[in-house]
Amino acid sequence: MNLTQELELFPDHTVTQMLFKEVKNAAELRQSAVDGRINGALINPTMLVNPFQVLVAANKAVHLQLIGKMKTRSLNSEIIFNLSPTNNISEAFKRFGTSDGDESVMLVVVHCKNESQLLEDIAAQVDGRQVPVEDVSWLSDLAKIRKLFKVAPQEETCGTLLDAVVCRMAIKDVM
């Protein structure tokens, strides 16, 4: 049910995504992440079109960490910041991070290869039902995503909504 992808540019870094529904302890999870007891990014899956979005955000976060140019204080918060189309950090957390009442959570962990125990330990902290990561498309709030990313209908005639979103994420620093 997990989705695992090695970052080709950074072979020491692998990204695993885990999707949970019917989550009962979102507030507690968020606090654990803030306190550093969960070494992962907790994302609001309704703002995701596709898991590829998370991979693009994670790859950029690892890159910026290595060259010392992160805009936030940790790799996990940088992943959340990179998902947003704007450079406003608090807005990025509000929209793309988990909020206290959320019933679904995408848990993203950047780790070394073969760390299944670590992943199990992190997943065990979620009080919810794990579902396949691909199911995220059922949760996407497409109207909200189109509005936040300012995607007009004509853009979707020449590419997917995912392309539109990923392009904005990739180049927001120079817009």
In whole angstroms, the minimum distance from the beta carbon of 150 to other proteins comes to 8
Among 143, 167, 137, smallest CA distance to 3 is for: 137
Closer CB to other proteins, residue 5 or residue 32?
A: 5
- Minimum gap (Å) between residue 31 Cβ and other proteins: 27
Please select the residue that binds other proteins; options are 7, 89, 131, 161, rule is CB under 8 A: 7
Note whether 55 binds other proteins by CB under 8 A: yes
Which range touches other proteins (CB under 8 A), out of 23-31, 35-43, 60-68, 91-99?
Answer: 60-68
Cross-strand pairs, 43: 97, 106
62 and 74 Cβ atoms separated by less than 8 Å: no
CB nearer other proteins, residue 67 or residue 124: 67
Q: Does 164 sit near other proteins (CB under 8 A)?
A: yes
- Which of the ranges 1-9, 31-39, 101-109, 124-132 carries the binding residues for other proteins, by CB under 8 A? 1-9
Burial of 67 (0-12, 13-18, 19+ CB in 10 A): exposed
Instruction: Say whether residue 167 binds other proteins (CB under 8 A).
Output: yes
Q: Report which DSSP code applies to 140.
A: -
Distance CA 105, CA 48 (A): 11
90, 86, 83: which is closest to 43 by C-alpha? 83
